[in-house]
Amino acid sequence: MTTARMPSGALPHTAPAAPRQLVPRHSVLVRVTHWVNVLAFSLLLMSGAQIFNAHPRLYWGQYGADNDHAWLSVDSLHGAGGWRGVVHLGPLTVETTGLLGASRVNGALVPRGLPAWLTIPSYQDLAAGRHWHLFFAWLFALNGAVYLVGGALQRHFRRDLLPSLAELAPAHLVQEVVDHARLHFPKGEAARRYNVLQKLTYLGVAFVLLPLMVLTGLTMSPGLDSAFPILLDVFGGRPSARSLHFICAALLVAFVVVHLAMVLLSGVWNNLRSMITGRYAIETEGARP
């Protein structure tokens, strides 16, 4: 919608906005794979939390069980006052009752690694969690393959995501970081393309974190470890792969939080429309009054 269609004089207190123009932003490939990914990632995260709760301890190396040293453990302790949750991270011990190790189900504190609102199903059911996880893992991997092949064929990566050398110049990077911190987002012609921070972030997610999720996930499969023993060498063992799977998932959650914040701050409806219809509104600078 352009402001020109507003009845003149209806909103006397608003400053006259610059004329806006809808420009093509996202291809069908990007839009479809983006939303399939939203669905798959959400359910993988929740079912992954369910699976993690079956053994909320993480190790480095070729083996790791209750008697071995865990670099991260979410412990549930029972004392006179009921259940307490404690997280051990390396040398750190953090009291986490209410969130990790012990959280409320129907008002009562119960022992569980991650809280019920984060897991699917909300109750403890490893078998069901695996059904959800392995189904959406297939959807996620096939969707990712479509994105990577389609994106290469359509030159999406080279055209839209690969930063230019000028963009990678330290001065430019610093300027972009400063602009983002001040919430100054590109306008006009500059808004037609991703800025360099977006490019680097999306490249990191699409080509590093998401493939790592798949590969570390596959390394937890004893069947695939025998078909591709190199997986065990690359990631340093099944327990290490499981730890990396968890760390990458946490980094992806951090990405989603920042991504959603940026979407909200830089114009939620414009961003949402561009990821649904493909069209993004930019202000045409030349026409400013």
Partner 1 sequence: MNPNMKFRSGALTPFQSRRRWLAALAAGAGSMALAGCDRAAGDARIDATLRSAEKLTLGSQRLLLDHQPLAREYGERDLSPVFRVNGSSMPASKEYARLLQGGFVDFRLQVDGLVQRPQSLSLAQLKAMKTRSQITRHDCVEGWSAIGKWQGVPLSQVLDLAGLKPGARYVIFHCADNLGETADDSGLYYESIDLLDAYHPQTILAYGMNGRDLPVAHGAPLRLRIERQLGYKQAKYVTRIEVADAYAHLNGGKGGFWEDRGYEWYAGI
* Identified binder of partner 1 from the candidate list 238, 244, 271, 281, rule CB under 8 A: 238
Task: Tell me whether residue 273 or residue 279 sits nearer to partner 1 (CB atom).
Answer: 273
Task: Tell me whether residue 221 or residue 284 sits nearer to partner 1 (CB atom).
Answer: 221
Residues 114-133 that bind partner 1 (CB under 8 A): 117, 120-123, 125-128, 130-132
Q: Could you give phi then psi for residue 280, rounded to 5 degrees? A: -120, 135
Least separation in angstroms between CB 182 and partner 1: 26
* Structure tokens, 137: 């893992």
CB of 213 closer than 8 Å to CB of 253: no
Task: Tell me whether residue 82 or residue 121 sits nearer to partner 1 (CB atom).
Answer: 121
Nearest to 157 by CA among 205, 203, 96: 203
Task: Tell me whether residue 31 or residue 55 sits nearer to partner 1 (CB atom).
Answer: 55
Task: Tell me whether residue 137 or residue 213 sits nearer to partner 1 (CB atom).
Answer: 137
In Å, what is the CA distance from 21 to each residue of 6, 275, 289?
A: 15, 16, 15
CA 284 to chain centre: 32
> What strands, in cross-sheet order, belong to the sheet with 92-95?
57-58, 72-79, 82-89, 92-95
Least separation in angstroms between CB 205 and partner 1: 23
Task: Tell me whether residue 63 or residue 166 sits nearer to partner 1 (CB atom).
Answer: 63
CA 225 to chain centre: 27
Which of these segments, 76-84, 160-168, 206-214, 232-240, binds partner 1 (CB under 8 A)?
Answer: 232-240
Task: Tell me whether residue 99 or residue 197 sits nearer to partner 1 (CB atom).
Answer: 99
* Identified binder of partner 1 from the candidate list 26, 37, 49, 52, rule CB under 8 A: 52
Q: Using CB under 8 A as the criterion, what x/- string covers residues 251-280 for binding partner 1?
A: ------------------x-----------
CB of 42 closer than 8 Å to CB of 35: no
CB of 58 closer than 8 Å to CB of 66: no
* Beta-carbon-side half-sphere exposure of residue 117 (alpha carbons within 13 Å): 7
Least separation in angstroms between CB 7 and partner 1: 6
CB of 196 closer than 8 Å to CB of 176: yes
Q: What is the DSSP letter of 99?
A: T
Which of these segments, 3-11, 16-24, 176-184, 254-262, binds partner 1 (CB under 8 A)?
Answer: 3-11
* Identified binder of partner 1 from the candidate list 44, 45, 51, 109, rule CB under 8 A: 51
Instruction: Tell me: cis bond preceding 239? Omega within 30 of 0 counts.
Output: no
Binding site for partner 1 (CB under 8 A): 1, 7, 9-11, 46, 51-52, 54-55, 57, 62-68, 117, 120-123, 125-128, 130-132, 134-135, 137-138, 218, 220-229, 232, 237-239, 242, 269
